[in-house]
């Protein structure tokens, strides 16, 4: 349940950011429409683009995110294993150096 809430939280956040920028674009669009006499084309393009972006975010497949998270965890585990191997080899080398010194 918590995992679903986190994913929806990200989607809500992304949607909020997109619509916040769209609001700013619409505010800039008002004087541009009167100057360029482009009619309602520019505001409609903004609304269509933001709507399409929102739909894509909410319909996106969560499986890819889970798969990427799994791959990241595997890579982190491999790095931990390599660090363990390297540190044990360093310890063995230091031990051999001490034996040679004595």
Mean pLDDT confidence for 3-12 = 71
Helix (H, G, I), strand (E, B) or coil at 68: helix
Q: How far apart are CA 44 and CA 28, in angstroms?
A: 14
Q: How far is CA 25 from the centre of its chain?
A: 24
pLDDT score for 1: 46
Instruction: Report the helix count and the strand count for the chain, using DSSP H and E.
Output: 3, 0
pLDDT in tens, 31-82: 888 887 777 888 899 999 999 999 998 887 666 767 777 888 899 999 888 8
Q: How far apart are CA 44 and CA 20, in angstroms?
A: 16
Q: How far apart are CA 32 and CA 6, in angstroms?
A: 39
């Amino acid at each position: 349940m918590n995992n679903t809430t986190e994913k929806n939280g990200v989607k809500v956040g992304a949607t909020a950011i997109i619509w916040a920028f769209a609001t700013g674009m619409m505010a800039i669009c008002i004087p541009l429409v009167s100057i360029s006499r482009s009619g309602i084309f520019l505001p409609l393009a903004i609304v269509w683009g933001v709507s399409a972006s929102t739909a894509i975010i909410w319909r996106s497949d969560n499986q890819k995110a889970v798969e990427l998270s799994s791959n990241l965890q595997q890579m982190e585990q491999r790095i931990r294993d390599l660090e363990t191997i390297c540190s044990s080899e360093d310890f063995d080398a230091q031990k051999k150096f001490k034996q040679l010194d004595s």
